Amino acid sequence: MRKTLILAALLAAAPVAASAADLSYTYVEGGATQVRINDDFLDDPHAGGGYLRGSFAIAEQVNVFGGYSRVSKSYGLGDGARIKYELGQPELGIGYHMNLSDRVDFTTDIAWLRLNAEAKYSEPGYSERIKDHTNAGRATLGIRGTPSPRTEAWVKAGVIDGSDLDTEFVGVLGGQVKFNKTWGLVAEAQWINDISQYSFGVRASF
């Protein structure tokens, strides 16, 4: 939380030429993503894949958003045997934003998400698939601003809770470098307990 407050203070204090009114809450983006688990016993396993998400402003200060990400990892076990793990995550939510200054917006959102886990074991002449899922809710508060005319940055903190999950802290840090009014490169990191997710993609804002 201390790092979040420091980042928020730096962002709010940064001199900028653009205004928060230039921030678009209608966009689509997609790219690559990686999920990593901080576990020394398992040698910090990770899985890579892709994601697609978007947001649409339905009112001056309200937007709806949704997305889907999927990562996978395969391991060879010898003698032709393999095991493949997959994790898919759809989400839907609604957000609210409010100007704090001419360069910074306060943001808050709530979302439903579903974690779909699947493991497939295969060997010559035999295969088996196991699936499981859990539903969860997430709520965050944060700020989003424009450090320069061609950059954006955002930081959020909140909680996630679900039927098969304990309440956990969520932290998000992201940014965008704009090529023009429409196109930009985005990068984002999200932390939930010992799990971190890193995404890098292209965004089209409208």
User: What contacts 148, CB < 8 A, 6 or more positions away?
Assistant: 16, 17, 18
| 41, pLDDT greater than 80 | no
User: What contacts 130, CB < 8 A, 6 or more positions away?
Assistant: 118, 119, 120
pLDDT confidence tier of residue 2, bands split at 50, 70 and 90: very low
What tokens were used for 99? 């100007």
Q: What angle do CA 21, 22, 25 make, to 5 degrees?
A: 90
| Kind plus residue range of the DSSP H or E element containing 59 | strand 46-59
What tokens were used for 26? 């209608």
- CA–CA distance from 139 to each of 113, 125, 172, 180, 187 (Å)? 11, 46, 12, 31, 21
| 162, pLDDT greater than 90 | no
Model pTM score? 0.82
**Single-letter residue type at 18:** A
In this predicted structure, what is the pLDDT of residue 8? Answer: 40
Region 121-141 average pLDDT: 92
Q: Residue 181 in contact with residue 168, Cβ under 8 Å?
A: no
In this predicted structure, what is the pLDDT of residue 42? Answer: 60
